[in-house]
Amino acid sequence: MNGSGIGRRVRGIRATASVAALTAAAAFAGVGLVAPSPAWADEVRSDAPAPSVRPDFRWRLDGPILGAGAALLAVGHSMNATRRLVPPEGLDRGDVHWSFDRSVIGETDTHAGNESDYFRDAVLAYPVVVSFVSQSPGTRFSGTLRRSVPYAEAMLLAEGISLVLKNSADRPRPFTYVPVDRRPTGPAYDVTQSEAFRSMPSGHATSSFCAAAFAMTDHLLSRPEAGWLERAAVPFVGGALAGMTASLRVEAGQHFPSDVIVGGLIGASSGVAVPLLHRYVSADGRHAPRPSGRAWRQAVASLLAGVGAGVLLSESLH
């Protein structure tokens, strides 16, 4: 078999593995949402869908958050990253301060870049799917729509902060340090465009970790009575999808590890903070009970485990 045939087969195996990973993640999430807790579990869990618990919409809170996010995006878009002349041999690697960042220079897997878009899109849809599945049938559409407001707020804030930092840091992407004869062709690797100097932070990591953290936090606040399996499943799957997205951006040569770490911290902070600022109330207007400290520890540990699993899985595919 010639080289191109082997390459097609390898790409086919990777695509199949990616689909299998997403299928397994979805199955795990479904089991966590509907399966009963084992008999030895020390917490009581209702196997029925959650009662109607929703975030309370208040213009005094939501208006300023939406306005701040929109303002940050406007400021970010008004800024332009400073372009540099990239010589044929690439930029000087000595300008990259951290060794763990320098170690990824030379990775330019274009297939990883395409796959990162797929996983980012999947994790962006994930909070909506979790919200829809976990609510009682009569409130699924209305409850999911109400959650779209704080979700949009969290995403606007995270993306706005990320964009302002991108256009003020002017950090060259890893592929700008690669010699021209080893650099992929195409607009995504064009060193003459200002986009080549918007590496810090990673926008993919920002949005994916915002979505994963929002799904975790919103689910905890909406279902404080959920059992350990449900609490573990929801953040684990979101973390795995976000971890794969971030790791694939590094493997594509589009970002340094520090880019995705900073982007992930921005996104996760916004995804947790925005729903926490909202009151979650039942249908009769009473405040829903807050999740316990143990529930938070379980959820955060599962999110981190999912991120690690996603990174390992992406590296095994490439």
Task: Give the H or E element holding residue 280.
Answer: strand 280-282
Q: Rounded CA gap, 283 and 300, in Å?
A: 28
- The larger pLDDT score, comparing residue 313 to residue 22, is at 313
User: Is residue 148 scored above 70 in pLDDT?
Assistant: yes
- Distance (Å) of CA 315 to CA 146, 196, 234, 245, 318: 37, 24, 23, 11, 5
Please report, rounded to a whole number, the percentage of residues in the chain having pLDDT higher than 70: 83
The pLDDT value recorded for residue 51 is 57
Report the chain's mean pLDDT, rounded to a whole number: 84
pTM of model > 0.85: no
Lowest mean pLDDT among 11-25, 50-64, 245-259: 11-25
Tell me how far CA of residue 154 lies from CA of 63, 68, 202, 303, in angstroms.
13, 11, 16, 18
With bands split at pLDDT 50, 70 and 90, how would you rate the model's confidence at 46? very low
Domain locations in the chain as residue ranges: 3-317
Q: Which of 146, 298, 158, 136 is nearest to 220 (CA)?
A: 298
* CA 313 to chain CA centroid, nearest Å: 16
